[in-house]
Amino acid sequence: MVARAQDRSYRSLSGLERTASTSRVLNLAAVASQNAGDPEYESAPFFKATSLNGAVIIKHRLRADEQYIFDQSKRISTKVIIPFERTDLGLGGRSLFVGQRGWQDLLYQLRGSQEDEARDIALLEALDELPSLDPFLLREHLKRRDFKIANCYFAISAADLERMQRFVSGEISKLVDLAYGGGKGGSPNANISKLVSLLLSGQDDARLEPLRLTLGLEGENFREGIFSWKGFLYYKWVLNSLWPELRQVIAELSEIKVVGPRDYEMLNQVKDVGARVNQAILGQVRKVRASLQVYDDAFGELTQAGNPMAFRNFLLKSPEMFITLGERTGMVSHIASFWRYRFPKGRPLRVELDELFDILQDFHQGLGEDDDHKAKTPGEAPEGELLDPASSEAIGRAVV
């Protein structure tokens, strides 16, 4: 249950009312508000049950006191919040976790209809398979599961998709020589464009057969490996775009000013949590980069050394690695997107102390700092990254 009260859960739900989806949040209530009357939205809804189609779906990092409702331990779960009133999330709502004991019985009570129940359950289970709710991966994953859903639910712009395609083209150009014979039967650029389109289409296609033969994979192993490969390429592209945004967050945390009453004990707690958040951000990005380096090394073996076995072995392991990579990228992506939502560019960087404490606490818990705190030495930036020299202490100084 999400009740209206003066706590972080209420403020978080209420705050979603004006924001769109992020890597951690799929805000179907906002999609409903923005696309009411759109024929495609009306003909291909996300969920068939009206109540679910106005829900807020969250990738939630489970706390210790929430583990007991699951039969097996989990780090991340998919939380479904059905608002009491979708036009006013501040009124709260009812919630459940996908996979908790008895969750389908709870869902039956909340849906309000038996029509297409099996389809909505299967869709929720498909969402739970993903490490995050990044719109590109969400769209690709649900295509593979044969769900017909309107494009308005996947808020990736045409410009972003074009940049993603250019990035992937640059990444896989050397592979074309191996799998498609370079310029044989067409120009190299045409072959690269063809392979990129096939990889990003989300559909099985016989034209991928040369790639399958090059990698020596069969059936489901090939399909799962290709999807996870797309995930690695997507997260590599995301990280390249995300770093400038994270650097801005770190810089703005050093500039933010507290307004209103000050409690000096809470002020010290904010400094402590802020410093931990900073280190946890850097630690998570290091781990994302380490995972991407595993991919780069395996791909290099394929394209530079002509050794397909290394990349084949990577693809066989990649579905499991992809989940962890997605969780970690989603953690830092959420921080960048939420910070910019709360503090738009050009607006004064001012906040009350208790709200800043809540924001940093949310970041701290979402980053999993307690699990992943043993990163490199404090203040050490990821290799190759040009952070401000004092960035490791920036958050700790935020409110002085």
Give me the tens of pLDDT residue by residue for the chain, a chain 400 residues long.
433 333 444 345 555 545 556 778 888 888 888 888 888 888 999 999 988 988 999 888 888 888 899 998 888 899 999 887 656 666 667 889 999 999 999 998 888 777 889 999 999 999 999 888 888 778 878 888 889 999 888 877 777 777 887 887 777 776 766 666 654 445 556 666 766 776 666 566 677 787 788 788 888 888 888 888 888 888 888 888 888 888 888 888 888 888 888 888 888 888 888 888 888 888 888 999 999 999 999 988 888 888 888 888 988 888 888 888 888 888 888 888 889 888 998 888 999 998 999 889 888 877 865 444 443 333 333 333 333 333 334 434 444 3
Helix (H, G, I), strand (E, B) or coil at 29: helix
Q: How many CB atoms lie within 10 A of CB 115?
A: 11
Pull the structure tokens for residue 368. 């999993």
Domain ranges of the chain: 8-153, 158-215, 242-397
| Whole-prediction pTM | 0.71
Across the chain, where does the E strand assignment appear?
25-27, 56-61, 76-83, 93-97, 257-259, 350-352
Helix (H, G, I), strand (E, B) or coil at 345: coil
pLDDT at 188: 52
pLDDT at 127: 94
The Cα–Cα gap between 96 and 118 comes to 17
pLDDT at 113: 73
Which whole-number Å values give the CA distances from 318 to 20, 140, 178, 210, in the listed order? 30, 16, 21, 20
Which whole-number Å values give the CA distances from 99 to 61, 104, 129, in the listed order? 14, 8, 11
pLDDT at 203: 60
The candidate with the shortest Cα–Cα distance to 59, out of 9, 127, 12, is 127
For 184, counting Cβ atoms within 10 Å of its Cβ (0-12 exposed, 13-18 middle, 19+ buried), the class is: exposed
Instruction: Determine what percent of the chain falls in helix, strand and coil, rounding each to the nearest 5.
Output: 65, 5, 30
Pull the structure tokens for residue 378. 């404090």
The candidate with the shortest Cα–Cα distance to 46, out of 166, 147, 140, is 147
pLDDT at 16: 53
Element (H, E) at 339: helix 308-342
pLDDT at 8: 45
pLDDT at 100: 93
The Cα–Cα gap between 298 and 349 comes to 44
Instruction: Give the chain's radius of gyration (CA, Å).
Output: 22
